[in-house]
Structure 1
């Protein structure tokens, strides 16, 4: 029922609130109870986020309305269609020589009104610590013909982080495990302040990683989940 309404709304107005509403409803049905901490992202914003699971897309998209940077092969055609409706930007991460072209593609998306989220770890992590951040695609902020804000965003699943993490586990097993989880899942989206963009992309990436790590360490108190902060 939502699909036709979304298509008609998008055709008539050029935009549609239904992808975000769909993702928010899906998050609620799965059990996620989302709390936003910080100012919602506006247009021309590149969000740089930690990445634990496929659930991040549902939670962050439903909570903020962001589009995402994704690998160009999502498998089933239905997944591609759903991703397209939310303005997904596709890149070939394994194509190192095309990194600049990928960054330019993201830059064009940042010129739209919808914020865009990048997961610089490049894959999902275990939930117990951050993986190294890749800096290449953060260059997109410099290529955009708009004044782009780069903001770290922290997905905090609290004590359930390791349970949610999709790491060295078959995708189907992770999906079934999370969908079969009993009870609700509190998750906080910490929307941090824009970063200082002076210096090169590697310095910017390090600022983003440290801001995310510090927020997680603070949230977990004396927990050793995020060592090295």
Structure 2
């Protein structure tokens, strides 16, 4: 009974909050007002509280621009978590655009949708991401290309760093800054979340979205660590593949430290 009431409460809060802010966001998008970049952060922050995501931030967002955030990807909740701590836009796979509710929300927060398998569209997609970077927006890239179980970081796809390369000729000083970010789900209801219980938070691609969302809403009270590592300067002389491996290693180190409870002291 309590679980059912919680689901009703979260869904009602989602509707009230979203429908209240929707006209403002639509107007901001229509007129190109800067509030269109800030409003999603307010929405994400409130939804994290409603669902019960307790976000703990380690380090800070880099001040340098252009700035590309590269993070591991555990769940759809990563969007809420990162969106609650910074004004960001996300790079999403094209199929997200057609998802019920989530796709609509992704469009409202101006996500960049990419079709990674369609090579003839790659240039246009990279151009859009690089233009966002050059406009001073902070862009988030989930470089694994899919979600994991939350216990590990899967290999990064170096081709996804193409937008950073494309922005270099127009970036101040010919440098784009890449900041590794680690996302770790570490606790549930105030208790440490062990390796075998982390699938409660994780959303691997073979798990149905609807039942997983309902389970998260029903359980709530998840602790999430967001670890901002030091930004890495990326210029024309930088090897893209080596940079991808370096960023991957730093994201993995941050995830490992958070899962071991290094930041709890």
Indicate the TM-score class for this superposition, using the shorter chain for normalisation. Answer: 0.7 to 0.9
Using structure 1 for the length normalisation, give the TM-score. Answer: 0.87
Question: Does structure 1 residue 3 correspond to structure 2 residue 22?
Answer: yes
**Aligned equivalent of 1:14:** 33
* Deviation at residue 216 of structure 1 after TM alignment: 1.8
Q: CA deviation at 1:157?
A: 1.2
Which 5+ residue runs of structure 2 have no aligned equivalent?
1-19, 187-191
Equivalent residue, structure 2, for 1:186: 223
TM-score by length of 2: 0.76
Instruction: Measure, in 2, the Cα distance between the counterparts of 1:88 and 1:120.
Output: 15
Is the aligned partner of 1:31 residue 2:52? yes
Matched, 1:89 2:112: yes
CA contact (8 A) 1:47 1:151 kept: yes
Task: Kindly report structure 1 stretches of 4+ aligned residues shifted beyond 4 Å.
Answer: 9-13
Match of 1:227 in 2: none
| Partner secondary structure for residue 206 of structure 1 | helix
More helix, by proportion: 2
Structure 2 equivalent of residue 226 of structure 1:
none
1:140-191 deviation per Cα after TM superposition (whole angstroms, max 9, x unaligned): 1121122421000111211544321111211122212211114x21212111
Change over 3 Å in CA distance of 1:102–1:86 after alignment to 2: same
Instruction: Compute the RMSD of aligned alpha carbons.
Output: 2.3
Residue in 1 aligned with 2:15?
A: none
Instruction: Report Cα offsets for 1:125-152 as digits up to 9, x if no partner.
Output: 1112111211112121121122421000
Tell me, in whole angstroms, the C-alpha distance in 1 between the residues paired with 2:32 and 2:125: 29
Partners of 2:255 and 2:122 in 1: CA distance:
29
Q: Name the count of aligned residue pairs.
A: 222
